[in-house]
Chains A and B, each alone.
Chain A
Amino acid sequence: MNKTYTYQNPDLIKRSLDTLSKILTKKWAIMEICGGQTHAFMQTGLSGMLPDEIELIHGPGCPVCVTSLELVDKAVAIASSENVIFTSYGDMLRVPGSESDLFSVRAAGGDVRVVYSPIEALQIAENNPDKEVVFFGIGFETTAPSNAISVIKAEERKISNYSMLVSHVRVPPAMHAILSAENNRVQGFLAAGHVCAIMGLAEYFPIAEKYHTPITVTGFEPMDLIRGILETVRMLEEGSTSVVNAYKRVVSPQGNMQAKRIIDQAFVECDRQWRGIGMIPMSGWKLNTVYAQYDAELKFDVENIKTHESEICISGLILQGIKKPYECPAFGTQCTPQNPLGATMVSSEGACAAYYRYGNI
């Protein structure tokens, strides 16, 4: 029996679900912060197997969904410029901006390319010295180290035609924002395992303490997810609040020191707009002054972008866990993965897309 199989073993899963049912005495609303976990809950069918007492609230942990409209519009503007090769992770291409998306820019003749890492984008810059190559640097703490490395390498290799449109966001400030909101319903958190693998656990203790909310660092296989819920429910039922690491095979308490050093070398904390949620103070990273020459927002004239969001889309309420995708009047009718009105319908990690694809049984 290989390891992955163990984490997907139907008997173990059934036993754990039985244990969960036994310790439950009332309803609990638990937020999985990470879009990868939302996807895994739906794709494996696990969400439908959980006891009725557990309400999953899908968090804002999909970097595609929370990238601000303003930055998507800036990306569209830069990608439409002459002499630019615009590179991005694949699922950003379909995210609707105010007027257009990156796919449409490509269809209109723009040079928009899907890459799997910023290092590829850097390579494209090196191979095309007469072009400006821009990488759409989105993501949480997980993608920050590789994005940081791309500008560090650009400087080392004296590549001046490379820049990054940075839209980095951080999980802990978002948890603060959710828990301090007036209409918050979240009682416990599954923290994103891969984010913690980079950053460690230190940032989560003050959150658990301040809001009396248990937090369990959770992985992505079905058994990981159940374990995350079990630990969280155990704390909720006991009335204890702590940070439990249920993903020890990947996450160490101090995180990945080398990755953190690389992030610190290139980035500095900043306020950041989250699509559908609004501005969250100090919730993002931008390039620091040492690497400012690689900041696409400074390199290109995109200061005065006017944005307007679809009036129907309720992705903001969905990202905060206040509404479920099927409570949106446009869900599955006006808004589908083919014709998304909001970003949550685009990425496979977006809650609306996950519901559209896997839910609705």
Chain B
Amino acid sequence: MENNKFENFSCPLPIPLNGQVAIGHGSGGTLTKNLITSVFYKYFHNPILDAGNDFAEISAKGSKIITSTDGHVIDPIFFPGGDIGKLAVAGTVNDISVSGAIPKYLTASFIIEEGFPIKDLDQIAQSMQQCALEADVKIISGDTKVVEKGKADKIFISTAGIGFLKNGLIINGSQAKPGDAVVVSGTIGDHGISVLAARNELGFSTTVISDVAPLNNMIQSVLALTHHIHVMRDPTRGGVATTLNEIAMQSKVNITLDEEKIPIKKQVHAACDILGFDPLYVANEGKVLFILPEREVSTLLKALHAHQYGKNAVVIGSISQSSNSPKVLMHTRIGGTRIVDMLSGAMLPRIC
């Protein structure tokens, strides 16, 4: 070394992160803290979260507590009408809401693939916050893990939710009674078809956008006007057919649908025809099925039609009878009858 002088020691400069999530972001150290502060706290902050604990404290005030948890994986993570963030918030909000409870708090856990762009993470967190704001829920604790490149597909988000249920309200899948009507809050299959098209693998494009939305406000406005709703459920994966089969089994009843009345967008119908799918099995993320006594149907429809997410609500069938071998039947458009079975395994496109 020249002149017997040491050069200034310095650590090798870390390679700039280029706006990507690095393994270190999941270390639990400073990088993790930076990521959490710069992305998640920016959007989610509230007194409970800001306390900075690994737990969150809430008080119940004499109501029943309803919890639900849901893992969200979707390809692509951004799709027309939403993204994985909105899906993660709305999905859990809706699962709690269909019990009749008012969702209040969410926790969120992120598993992120190394190299994931931070600007995308920012966009996801922002849309989570927008959805939480609309649903009036707070994200009160969270966790972030980063896994090596290739060990996860971009980002997975698990959310858990807590809601409060007014004592005395009993709404669940085993309450369907013969004579009840079946109402769906709008067109079916929009989410599944828009995501499928967004994958760009099938060589078709569509103007259909996902219906992903938090439904708690609509559900609460319905509950304010009706008094005897027996079942509410959001027909997500497996679609309306699978959800109604679950309800039929839980309540030990037969459900009869009227094909002509099932609301399906023309574009969704066309896409399903081409791809060999049945819209009854395609996922929804912003729809609810209601089962309730016939006499309350007009009140329900009035409440739904007044809400942006329930404009196309319509009666699609009825609970035909109690049954020890519960099934879902459908009066077809041409006047026949057929069974509507559950989805078995993955939905596979047909060859011709």
Bind each other: yes
Report A's interface with B, CB cutoff 8 A. Answer: 8-10, 13-14, 36, 42-49, 63-64, 89-94, 114, 116-117, 120, 138-140, 142-143, 194, 222, 336-338, 347-349, 356-361
Chain A residue contacts of B276, Cβ below 8 A: 90, 348
Chain B residue contacts of A194, Cβ below 8 A: 352
Whether B333 and A114, one on each chain, are in contact in the complex, defined by CB atoms closer than 8 angstroms, is no
Chain B residue contacts of A92, Cβ below 8 A: 351
Whether A139 and B351, one on each chain, are in contact in the complex, defined by CB atoms closer than 8 angstroms, is yes
Q: In terms of DSSP, what is the predominant structure of the interface of chain B?
A: loop
> How many angstroms between the C-alpha atoms of A92 and B352 in the bound complex?
12
Expressed in whole angstroms, the minimum distance between the Cβ of A121 and any Cβ of chain B is 12
Query: How many residues on chain B are close to A (CB under 8 Å)?
Result: 24
For residue B47, CB closer than 8 A to chain A, the reply is: no
> How many angstroms between the C-alpha atoms of A68 and B338 in the bound complex?
31
Whether A64 and B351, one on each chain, are in contact in the complex, defined by CB atoms closer than 8 angstroms, is yes
Expressed in whole angstroms, the minimum distance between the Cβ of A312 and any Cβ of chain B is 19
Chain B residue contacts of A14, Cβ below 8 A: 335
Whether B337 and A91, one on each chain, are in contact in the complex, defined by CB atoms closer than 8 angstroms, is no
Contact with A along B246-279 (1 / 0, CB 8 A): 0000000000000000000000000000011000
Residue ID in chain B nearest A64 by CB atoms: B351
> How many angstroms between the C-alpha atoms of A114 and B347 in the bound complex?
12
For residue B348, CB closer than 8 A to chain A, the reply is: yes
Whether B350 and A347, one on each chain, are in contact in the complex, defined by CB atoms closer than 8 angstroms, is yes
> How many angstroms between the C-alpha atoms of A48 and B202 in the bound complex?
35
Chain A residue contacts of B335, Cβ below 8 A: 10, 13-14, 45, 49
Whether B334 and A45, one on each chain, are in contact in the complex, defined by CB atoms closer than 8 angstroms, is yes
> How many angstroms between the C-alpha atoms of A13 and B329 in the bound complex?
21
Whether B350 and A90, one on each chain, are in contact in the complex, defined by CB atoms closer than 8 angstroms, is yes
For residue B24, CB closer than 8 A to chain A, the reply is: no
Contact with A along B330-352 (1 / 0, CB 8 A): 11111111110100110011111
Expressed in whole angstroms, the minimum distance between the Cβ of A146 and any Cβ of chain B is 11
Expressed in whole angstroms, the minimum distance between the Cβ of A35 and any Cβ of chain B is 8
Whether B351 and A91, one on each chain, are in contact in the complex, defined by CB atoms closer than 8 angstroms, is yes
Expressed in whole angstroms, the minimum distance between the Cβ of B255 and any Cβ of chain A is 13
Residue ID in chain B nearest A11 by CB atoms: B335
Given contacts A8-B333, A120-B203, A338-B345, contact A358 B351 (CB under 8 A): no
Chain B residue contacts of A337, Cβ below 8 A: 344-345
> How many angstroms between the C-alpha atoms of A310 and B334 in the bound complex?
38
Chain B residues 192-251 with CB under 8 Å of chain A are 201-203
> How many angstroms between the C-alpha atoms of A93 and B334 in the bound complex?
33
How many A-B pairs have beta carbons closer than 8 Å: the answer is 99
Chain A residue contacts of B349, Cβ below 8 A: 89-91, 114, 116
> How many angstroms between the C-alpha atoms of A138 and B336 in the bound complex?
33
Whether B339 and A360, one on each chain, are in contact in the complex, defined by CB atoms closer than 8 angstroms, is yes
Contact of B334 among A44, A89, A117, A357 (CB under 8 A): A44
> How many angstroms between the C-alpha atoms of A229 and B333 in the bound complex?
20
Expressed in whole angstroms, the minimum distance between the Cβ of A219 and any Cβ of chain B is 14
> How many angstroms between the C-alpha atoms of A117 and B352 in the bound complex?
11
Given contacts A356-B341, A361-B339, contact A349 B350 (CB under 8 A): yes
Chain A residue contacts of B333, Cβ below 8 A: 8, 10, 44
What 4 pairs between A and B have smallest CB-CB spacing? A45-B336, A45-B332, A90-B348, A90-B349
Expressed in whole angstroms, the minimum distance between the Cβ of A80 and any Cβ of chain B is 20
Report B's interface with A, CB cutoff 8 A. Answer: 201-203, 275-276, 329-339, 341, 344-345, 348-352
Residue ID in chain A nearest B266 by CB atoms: A2
> How many angstroms between the C-alpha atoms of A346 and B253 in the bound complex?
28
Given contacts A337-B344, A338-B344, contact A49 B336 (CB under 8 A): yes
Chain A residue contacts of B203, Cβ below 8 A: 116-117, 120
Contact of A357 among B336, B339, B348, B351 (CB under 8 A): B339
Residue ID in chain A nearest B275 by CB atoms: A116
Expressed in whole angstroms, the minimum distance between the Cβ of A200 and any Cβ of chain B is 18
CB pairs A–B below 8 angstroms (10 shown): A14-B335, A43-B338, A46-B332, A90-B349, A91-B349, A93-B348, A117-B203, A139-B351, A338-B345, A356-B341
Chain A residue contacts of B344, Cβ below 8 A: 336-338
> How many angstroms between the C-alpha atoms of A63 and B351 in the bound complex?
8
Whether B350 and A91, one on each chain, are in contact in the complex, defined by CB atoms closer than 8 angstroms, is yes
Whether B334 and A348, one on each chain, are in contact in the complex, defined by CB atoms closer than 8 angstroms, is no
Given contacts A10-B334, A44-B334, contact A359 B351 (CB under 8 A): no
> How many angstroms between the C-alpha atoms of A348 and B336 in the bound complex?
19
Of the candidates B276, B335, B351, the one having the most CB atoms from chain A within 10 angstroms of its own CB is: B351
Whether A138 and B351, one on each chain, are in contact in the complex, defined by CB atoms closer than 8 angstroms, is yes
Residue ID in chain A nearest B337 by CB atoms: A45
Chain A residue contacts of B330, Cβ below 8 A: 45
Whether A358 and B339, one on each chain, are in contact in the complex, defined by CB atoms closer than 8 angstroms, is yes
Of the candidates B339, B344, B345, B348, the one having the most CB atoms from chain A within 10 angstroms of its own CB is: B348
> How many angstroms between the C-alpha atoms of A357 and B276 in the bound complex?
15
Whether A143 and B338, one on each chain, are in contact in the complex, defined by CB atoms closer than 8 angstroms, is no
Chain B residue contacts of A45, Cβ below 8 A: 330-332, 334-338
> How many angstroms between the C-alpha atoms of A8 and B203 in the bound complex?
29
Given contacts A8-B333, A44-B334, contact A139 B352 (CB under 8 A): yes
Expressed in whole angstroms, the minimum distance between the Cβ of B98 and any Cβ of chain A is 27
Chain A residue contacts of B339, Cβ below 8 A: 357-361
> How many angstroms between the C-alpha atoms of A359 and B329 in the bound complex?
10
Chain B residue contacts of A89, Cβ below 8 A: 349-351
> How many angstroms between the C-alpha atoms of A347 and B351 in the bound complex?
9
> How many angstroms between the C-alpha atoms of A357 and B344 in the bound complex?
10
Residue ID in chain A nearest B330 by CB atoms: A45
Known: A45-B332, A358-B338. 19 other contacts (CB 8 A): A36-B352, A42-B338, A43-B338, A45-B335, A46-B334, A46-B336, A49-B334, A49-B335, A49-B336, A116-B203, A117-B203, A138-B351, A222-B334, A349-B351, A349-B352, A358-B341, A359-B339, A360-B339, A361-B339
